Amino acid sequence: MNNNEYVIDEKRFIRTIIKCRCFKKKGEQYVLACKIIQRGEHAYIWDKEREFIGKEFGDKGFYLSPEAEDIVRAAAAEYDMETERAKGPEYTVVPVEGLPLTFYYMQLPDDWFNCYMEYTDDEGRICCKMFRHVPLEVMAKAVLMSIDIKNEDRGLYDRLFNSTSETIDENPFYISAKASGNEEMERRLRLSYRIATKEDCEWLSDRTGKRILPSLPKEYNRSYAVETDAELARLLIDSGFQFLHRPSFSMKGCTHKKMQINPHIKMAVDAGRVDAETISAGEFLKMYEGNA
């Protein structure tokens, strides 16, 4: 028997909610992540005119006791306050040209971000979505996850995911950073897209206190098999390397005890061939002596 539930007039009520947080709004409907005793954590839809929360997809859900309703209303009110704050001076606005979407972000003390976006869905509803404490790389994905990229919008996809030194001036985030005079964001975006200069890496290293590796010259444009090392992996991520994961089902002839790293294009894979000639993390970093 679930003591957190009771029935009145064939309506199933829940007494309380362990955890409730809103992360999205569709028109007047709030999308809530609710953790409920013996029900687990799921997404539910709620609006201010009803005492019922339903699953985001389907018609299952629960009526709310006064206590549970207070918890839901508090989560909705907190979300409304957060979204209003996102339109204030603490956040940087990123208009996305050609799409009914506006993006806002705020850099946090640990160099991650809170992000907020408003867009119009296929039903014409004004929707908004909040991403809390996410890395820089997630911001571009957040835009693409929230809209339907049509064939004619493929250019936007390329600008958000595959900016090069020739095309980054067309990237919405880069345009916004330049317009607001945010030099750090410009350099961090170039690092994220693996087009940072040696000067960018030195500037960001001074700013963050972390070592940041630049791209090595073209003669290093090859894959090196390197013994897996957690500190090296962290350094590569901080340096803007794109880190690819090789799943277990495709590991035939490979091992996660080795990494493959290309220091010229800043690409890495968390697995390598079992029979590959391997160097240590220290030997790999020696390649940067005189080049960094």
User: For the whole model, what pTM was predicted?
Assistant: 0.76
Distances, alpha carbon 121 to alpha carbons 26, 124, 125, in Å: 8, 5, 6
User: Which among 24, 29, 64 is positioned nearest to 48, based on CA atoms?
Assistant: 29
CB 140 within 8 A of CB 94: no
Q: Higher model confidence: residue 188 or residue 125?
A: 188
The whole-angstrom separation of Cα 146 and Cα 161 is: 15
pLDDT per residue as tens digits for the range 216-230: 999 999 999 999 999
On the question of pLDDT at 215 being above 90, the answer is: yes
Strands (E), the chain: 5-8, 11-14, 19-26, 29-36, 40-46, 52-55, 61-64, 92-95, 101-107, 113-120, 126-134, 224-227, 242-244, 254-255, 258-262, 267-269, 272-273
Per the rule left: phi > 0, alpha: psi between -120 and 50, beta: everything else, 54 is beta
pLDDT per residue as tens digits for the range 150-183: 444 667 777 777 889 999 998 888 998 898 889 9
The whole-angstrom separation of Cα 47 and Cα 182 is: 38
